[in-house]
Amino acid sequence: MADVKTNPLGSHLRENGMLLALVAIVVLFSILVAMQGKPMFLQAPNITNIFLQNGHVIILALGMLLIIVSGHIDLSVGSVAAFTGAVAAWLTVTHKLPVYAVIPLTLIVGGLIGAAQGYWVAYWRIPSFIVTLAGMLVFRGATLWLLGGQNIGPFPREFQAMSSGFIPDLTGLMKPHGLTLIITALAIGVVIWIGLRSRARDAEFGITPEPAGLFWGRTLIIAAATAFVGWQLASFRGLPNVLIVLAVLTVLYAFFTENTVQGRRIYAVGGNEKAAKLSGIRTERLVFFCFVNMGMLAALAGMMVTARLNSATPKAGTGFELDAIAAVFIGGASMAGGSGKIVGVVIGALIMGVMNMGMSILGVGIDYQQMIKGLVLLAAVIFDVYNKTK
């Protein structure tokens, strides 16, 4: 019938559920780790490592969300990350180019690879599954070819700083890390301010707002978690560079997808391509853009991983595409395109990252780890589908 009751939690149900799941998983591991008599799960080195070891997944997932929202898929990102990592190594180690030249050059290579794939998908309407499956093979081969089957490394210090460096403490406080504390405080303030602002807007337009308790509960959890992480990091070595890059990218992409004309249009393309086209939207160009963007993000991820391992290897990036895709779907995007949020995707990637680390600390074998991760992905999507049909 025409009248359908809307869920009081509305569109927030999914994000709240995700956040709750993340918190629950963190608490679960904290308890399990404590029960084994090991040092605290949420100590600074572990927190730092979660971001260092999963930064590439988050970065890939940001681009993958756009691809999936536009109604496509990219299976090639692992191979592209490996290839661009090799390109960066080749430029740095073999040709002795400085970092500030290597980074933009590598990003351009990634963008060109994305353009090459996006061209066929967008303008020739070749299914993205096929194009990027081909790309997955081609760039894995290209990586082997460029590296000649060898590892290239090690890298100069500046290049490594991309993945393992920490921000300097401009306050000179050092212990605890002053700048880290300032940034943490700012971040908490911004979260509360944005939350209040959108609540005020909802009220203005008579949209049933989230119950106040739920809003404040969630905001409090986010603020407390941010404060805790900030304090831990400040008392260790400060904010890792990677975390700054991730935070900036996350905010940028969240803003792009939700608050810009082009971002909105990408959702329209995925939601109903024909309707979007007849509304004057150049759908081909947007899809093409999504793939170029994905290529550049894959290059960034490739460089970060190469820098962390301090060498480019032919096997790098294996399975990255699946991690990124899993993060997007755990984060609540729809396979059919047209829906999904950046925040959800980042939480999805963090859930995977926390689980990886937690299970490793607990000594869970890689065999069980894979099975558990697979089941979590399935459960998240079942939860989504169940909520939609209810």
Partner 1 sequence: MTTLLEMREITKVFPGVKALDRVSLTVEAGEIHAICGENGAGKSTLMKVLSGVYPHGSFEGEILYDGAPLRNRSIRDSEDKGIIIIHQELALIPLLSIAENLFMGNEVASRGVISWPAAFKRTEELLRQVGLNEPPGAIVGKLGVGKQQLIEIAKALSKNVRLLILDEPTAALQEADADRLLDLMLELKARGVTQIIISHKLNEISRVADRITVIRDGTTVSTLSKDEISEDRIIKDMVGRDMAHRYPERESHPGEVLFEVENWSCWHPEQAGRQMIKDVSLNVRKGEIVGIAGLMGTGRTELAMSIFGRSYGKGHQGTVRMHGKPVDVSTVSKAIAAGISYVTEDRKALGLILDEPIVKNISLANLAGVAQRWVLDKRREMQVAESYRKQLAIRTPGVQQKVVNLSGGNQQKVVLSKWLFTDPELLILDEPTRGIDVGAKFEIYTIMKDLADQGRGILMISSEMPELLGMCDRIYVMNEGRIVGELARGEASQERIMALIVTDNGKTTGKVA
3-state secondary structure of 126: coil
366 touches partner 1 (CB under 8 A)? no
The residues pairing with 312 across neighbouring beta strands, listed in sequence order, are: 152
Q: 54-73 burial string, b = 16+ CB within 10 Å, else e?
A: bbbbbbbbbbbbbbbbbbbb
CB of 288 to partner 1, least distance (A): 16
CB of 155 to partner 1, least distance (A): 38
Give residues 246-275 in contact with partner 1 (rule: CB under 8 A): 259-262, 264-265, 267-268, 271-272, 274-275
Give residues 39-58 in contact with partner 1 (rule: CB under 8 A): none
Q: What tokens appear for 43 in the block?
A: 């100590």
Q: Which of 192, 200, 152, 198 is CA-nearest to residue 302?
A: 152
CB of 16 to partner 1, least distance (A): 18
6 touches partner 1 (CB under 8 A)? yes
Instruction: Report the amino acid identity of residue 136.
Output: M
100 touches partner 1 (CB under 8 A)? no
Nearer to partner 1, 170 or 278 (CB): 278
194 touches partner 1 (CB under 8 A)? no
**Cα–Cα distance between 21 and 7 in angstroms, integer?**
20
Q: What is the DSSP string of 19-32?
A: HHHHHHHHHHHHHH
- For the window 195-224, what string marks contact with partner 1 as x by the rule CB under 8 A? ------x--xxxx-----------------
Looking at 52, 73, 183, 276, which residue binds partner 1 (CB under 8 A)?
A: 276
CB of 311 to partner 1, least distance (A): 41
> What is the chain's alpha carbon radius of gyration, rounded to the nearest angstrom?
21
CB of 287 to partner 1, least distance (A): 16
Nearer to partner 1, 263 or 348 (CB): 263
CB of 193 to partner 1, least distance (A): 16
Q: What tokens appear for 365 in the block?
A: 């074998």
Compute how many residues bind partner 1; rule: CB under 8 A: 32
Q: What dihedral angle (degrees, nearest 10) is formed by the CA atoms of 270, 206, 251, 339? A: -20
Looking at 199, 237, 277, 308, which residue binds partner 1 (CB under 8 A)?
A: 277
389 touches partner 1 (CB under 8 A)? no
Q: Which of 317, 18, 347 is CA-nearest to residue 147?
A: 317
1 touches partner 1 (CB under 8 A)? yes
282 touches partner 1 (CB under 8 A)? yes
Nearer to partner 1, 41 or 288 (CB): 288
Nearer to partner 1, 175 or 259 (CB): 259
Nearer to partner 1, 1 or 170 (CB): 1
Q: 248-264 burial string, b = 16+ CB within 10 Å, else e?
A: ebbeebbebbeeeeebe
Looking at 76, 92, 339, 356, which residue binds partner 1 (CB under 8 A)?
A: 339
3 touches partner 1 (CB under 8 A)? yes
Instruction: Report the amino acid identity of residue 254.
Output: A
Nearer to partner 1, 200 or 372 (CB): 200
CB of 282 to partner 1, least distance (A): 7
CB of 108 to partner 1, least distance (A): 24
What contacts 24+ positions apart, CB below 8 Å, involve 188-191? 188/223, 188/226, 188/227, 191/219, 191/222, 191/223, 191/226
Residue 155 dihedral angles phi and psi, to the nearest 5°:
-105, 160
CB 146 within 8 A of CB 90: yes
Apex 252 CA angle, 226 and 332, nearest 5: 75
Q: Which of 85, 89, 81, 59 is CA-nearest to residue 132?
A: 81
241 touches partner 1 (CB under 8 A)? no
Which segment (57-65, 129-137, 278-286, 347-355) binds partner 1 by CB under 8 A?
278-286
Which residue ranges make up the site for partner 1 (CB under 8 A)?
A: 1-6, 201, 204-207, 259-262, 264-265, 267-268, 271-272, 274-282, 338-339
